[in-house]
Amino acid sequence: MMKQLFDDMAADMEARLLDHYTARLRFTLENARLCQRLYSDTHRLAWCGVCAPFDLLNAMGISSCFVEYLGAVFAAAGSAGQFLEEAEHAGFPTDSCGWHRAVIGAAAKGMMPIPDVMIATSSPCTGGVAAVEHLARTFDCPLYVLAIPPDDSESSVRYLADQIRHMVDFVSAHTGEALDDDRLRYAMHKTNEAREAAIEMFHLAQRIPSPARAADLRNFGITLPLFLGTEAAVEIAQAYRDEFAARSGQGISGVQGERFRLMWLQEAIQFRHPLIKMLEENYQAAIVIEELDDIYWEPIDAEDPYIGLAQRTIAFPFNGQADRRLKHIKKLVQAYKIDGAINPCHWGCRQGTGARGLIGEALKELDVPVINLEVDCADARNFSEGQLRTRLEAFMEVLDSRPGRRSTN
């Protein structure tokens, strides 16, 4: 059933792309293709944590994805509720992370493909490790845990690089798929090509007015790594770069008459809701950047990739102490000339709700207000549009009345 759904979705997008090619559609097509592979019986499959080196797995011919992604797919499709309930019936608390509850419930209901191997990553959250461990037990599947050090000292990088090497051997032993040197080299070249194009694309998004809008970049930064090491990632990043360059060249902004430049922290609300449209249409507020829309890592040495992959993994903004994340947020706020930030404070997430005070303080130093929404980004059952609308509208009124702006209040 799911396979058919994604087959139809991919076919529809391929047809639409022939008619009208857009970067977002190309990106969405690749997501549909990934889902096709995940739900086909013809590919080796690895369910992972967020920070797994997907380019390596792609080079091995393993279809791989972080488990939270599937929770987001269910939420976007409006079907997460039944899986969340299933997990709750099994005893998982309603205030635990919705992404993890959704996939745990889906696995219990037989709606999650059975993997050949699982790879947990200790970053960005220990909840993710626990969820992957639980799923590995559910599937009776071999599990490898990448323990990602919080710091980038030489010994920490070497420690993680050795683990990644060992992970490749582990995956190979359990799937029968070897990592050949030429495929590895090719994958790293593709990763670096995608990186270059993404850097250019993000520079363009920083322009005033920005050619980017929320619908373009939604989930881009968190999802692009799934396609790294392949030509698809290069095509997607280049398509965005070219589209942003064309828009900028023609003086077209992502949100017509851009008045406010906003940053969305952590992850997007995945189920359908009208709040972004309301911000764009009623306030000409453009979400020009999501927190993970950034290239924070150096090119990978194709001849000796493991050190570079380890450095990239450690540099993930959510890894280690909150300082790294705060520094990253501040860098983006300054680069994108952000007027205000929206923190969804995803329920049950220690990164999301736990860091909100620290984020508020850090942004105050830059005189950038932040609004905390307190929403479960996965669970539409707890969504209260009126409450969030009031918070966001009041936030826009605060931004609008700040000195230097012509107030409309």
Partner 1 sequence: MYYLGVDLGSLSCDAVLLDHEGKIMAASVVPTGARNREAIARATQEVLEMARISEAEIKATISTGYGRDRVEGRLAAVTEITCHARGAHALLPGTQVLIDIGGQDSKAIRMDGGGRVLEFAMNDKCAAGTGRFLEAMARALQVDIGELCELDLGASKNLTLSSMCTVFAESEVVSLIADGVEVNEIVAGLNRAIASRIAALVKRIAPDVAGLKVAMSGGVAHNHGVVRALSSALNTEISVPQQPDTVGALGAALVARERMLP
Closest approach of partner 1 to the CB of residue 382, in Å:
7
Q: Please compute, for residue 339, the number of CA atoms within 13 A of its CA located in the half-sphere on the CB side.
A: 25
> DSSP code of 367?
T
CA distance 135 to 101: 11
25 φ, ψ to 5°?
-65, -40
User: Terminus-to-terminus CA distance in the chain, angstroms?
Assistant: 52
Q: Is the distance from CB of 198 to CB of 224 less than 8 angstroms? A: yes
Chain-centroid distance, C-alpha 143: 23
- Min dist CB 234 to partner 1, Å, is 43
Output the smallest distance, CB 78 to partner 1, in A. Answer: 21
Residues that bind partner 1 (CB under 8 A): 369, 372, 374, 382, 384, 386-387, 390-391, 393-394, 397-398, 401, 408-409
Which H or E run contains 171?
helix 154-175
Measure the CA angle with vertex 388, ends 88 and 318; round to 5°: 65
- The least CB distance from residue 409 to partner 1, in Å, is 5
Residue closer to partner 1 (CB basis): 334 or 384: 384
Residue 62 corresponds to which tokens in the numbers above?
Answer: 């393993």
Residue among 157 and 370 whose Cβ is closer to partner 1: 370
Please, which residue, 129 or 362, has the CB nearer to partner 1?
362
- Other CB atoms within a 10 A radius of the CB of residue 177 amount to 20
Q: Which is nearer to partner 1, 297 or 383 (by Cβ)?
A: 383
Dist. CA 24–CA 30, nearest whole Å = 10
* Comparison of 75 and 368: residue with beta carbon closer to partner 1: 368
Closest to partner 1 by CB, 4 or 408: 408
Rounded-to-integer distance, Cα 62 and Cα 172, Å: 10
Residue 64: enclosing H or E segment and its boundaries?
A: strand 62-66
Strand partners, 372: 343
Find the shortest distance in angstroms from Cβ 368 to partner 1.
Answer: 12
As measured in angstroms, the least distance from the Cβ of 402 to partner 1 is 8
Nearest CB to partner 1, comparing residues 334 and 387: 387
Give the shortest CB-360-to-partner 1 separation in angstroms.
9
Cβ-contact 301, 308 below 8 angstroms = yes
